[in-house]
Amino acid sequence: MRGNQLVLLSGTANPSLASEISGSLGIPLCDAAVDRFSDGEVRVRIRETVRGADVFVLQPTCPPVNDTLMELLIMIDAARRASARRIIAVVPYYGYSRQDRKHTGRVPISARLVANLIETAGADRVLTMDLHAGQIQGFFNIPVDNLRADWIFADHARATFRDLSDSIVVSPDAGGAVRARQVAERLDLPLAILEKRRTSDGSDVDVMNVIGEVTGRRCLLVDDILSSAGTLIKGARTLLDHGAKEIFAYCTHGVFSGDAIYALAESPLKRVVVTNTIFVEAAEKGHVAEYTSVGDHLAKTIQCIYEYRSVSELFPHY
Site string for ligand R5P, 94-133 (x = CB under 6 A): ----x-----------------------------------
Position 231 contacts ligand R5P (CB under 6 A): yes
Least distance to ligand R5P, CB of residue 20, Å: 25
Which residues are catalytic, by number?
196
Q: Which of 13, 225, 247, 273 binds ligand R5P (CB under 6 A)?
A: 225
Q: Which of 92, 176, 254, 295 binds ligand R5P (CB under 6 A)?
A: 176
Q: Which of 228, 238, 276, 277 binds ligand R5P (CB under 6 A)?
A: 228
Tell me which residues in 9-48 interact with ligand R5P (CB under 6 A): none
Q: Which of 130, 145, 150, 223 binds ligand R5P (CB under 6 A)?
A: 223
Q: How far apart are the first and last CA of the chain?
A: 36
Position 227 contacts ligand R5P (CB under 6 A): yes
Q: Which of 60, 92, 230, 254 binds ligand R5P (CB under 6 A)?
A: 230
Site size with ligand R5P, rule: CB under 6 A: 15
Tell me which residues touch ligand R5P (CB under 6 A). Answer: 98, 172-173, 175-176, 205, 223-231
